[in-house]
Amino acid sequence: MIHLDAVALRLHVNNALSPSIQSYNILMEQEVITLLSSREIEKMRRAGRLAAELLDYLEPLVKPGVSTLKLNDEAERWTQAHGAKSAPLGYHGFPKSICTSVNEVVCHGIPNARQILKDGDIINIDVTLIVEGYHGDTSKMYFVGEPSPLARRLVEVTDKCRQLGIEQVKPGAKIGDIGAAIQDYAESQGFSVVRDFVGHGISNIFHTAPQIPHYGKRGTGKKLRPGMVFTIEPMINEGTWEVEVMKDKWTALTKDRKLSAQCEHTLVVTTSGYEILTQY
Ligand code: MF3
Ligand code: CO
Ligand code: CO
């Protein structure tokens, strides 16, 4: 028998999608959740570690006056110098190596020479590196100069949402526990959780099963098992959770043009809980 809640959740995620996001979801190439071997997990560790190091490397470059293209080019150069590949470059037509999502951009912002960071901006940099065929996917928020109190609080809440989601992860817990923990906290702080993009399984495939919604009901969804590897990457909005995708087919914006923040880790379910593979 099919669990109704699980079906409802999947239908909801798929129905809510705009055309470009549908293709993103179709990229969930398989329905079955693969359990990774310890050899594969070791490769995921290497990819995850390098991705985290790249976010650290970029930190001092994020300041007023720099273009998002400059951040992209520095990331690409660093990635090649470390013998890795940028997974986003050419991925279903994505034109650059990293995603740079500033202020009201929810995710998938495209680096651009004409986009110059200014004091008070908040920016998410999302990197995915391929090392020996395996993917490390992680992102964080950076402050450009001094943020407003509201922007700072949104970023702090988003970081805590990810942490609360991660703390749900252990064998026997349900996927819905992750989203419930995130949604409860985000909404208690007066913010909203983006529905149209979800976390994802990841291995030698960039986006695969399972989908990890950042909202939902405790006790619903598939059971977590040791060897599952996926991302948790909540997008938390100041105002409405609704998003719009720009004509470029990638850049997702908040419908009300208020602020959005995101942070991401890749993790593996262990026999006792979880291991973060992209700790920075
Ligand atoms: N790194 C993003 C994620 O967290 C995906 C970016 S796909 C791209 O899943 F094509 F937009 F780069
Ligand atoms: Co991801
Ligand atoms: Co990512």
pLDDT in tens, 229-247: 999 999 999 999 999 999 9
Res 15: pLDDT: 35
Res 174: pLDDT: 98
Q: Which protein residue has the closest C-alpha to ligand 1 atom 6?
A: 88
* 128 in contact with ligand 1, CB cutoff 6 A: yes
Res 199: pLDDT: 97
Atom of ligand 1 nearest to the CA of 127: 1
Q: Which protein residue has the closest C-alpha to ligand 1 atom 4?
A: 137
Distance between Cα 114 and ligand 3 center (Å)? 23
Give the C-alpha distances (Å, rounded to integers) separating 47 from 171, 253, 276: 24, 29, 12
Burial 227-256 (b: 16+ CB within 10 A, else e): bbbbbbbbbbbbbebbbebeeebbbbbbee
Q: Is there a cis peptide before residue 147, judged by omega within 30 degrees of 0?
A: no
Q: Which CATH class is domain 4-276?
A: alpha beta
Task: Give the number of whichever ligand sits closest to the CA of residue 250.
Answer: 1
What residue spans define the domains of the chain?
4-276
Residue owning tokens 């880790």 = 265
Distance between Cα 2 and ligand 1 center (Å)? 30
Res 31: pLDDT: 82
Query: CA–CA separation, 162 vs 262, rounded Å?
Result: 9
Distance between Cα 200 and ligand 1 center (Å)? 10
Distance between Cα 143 and ligand 1 center (Å)? 21
Structure tokens at 261: 């923040």
Q: What is the pLDDT of residues 110-152, one digit of tens each?
A: 999 999 999 999 999 999 999 999 999 999 999 999 999 999 9
Res 22: pLDDT: 39
Q: Say how many residues make up the chain.
A: 280
Residues of the chain with pLDDT under 50: 1-26
* 40 in contact with ligand 1, CB cutoff 6 A: no
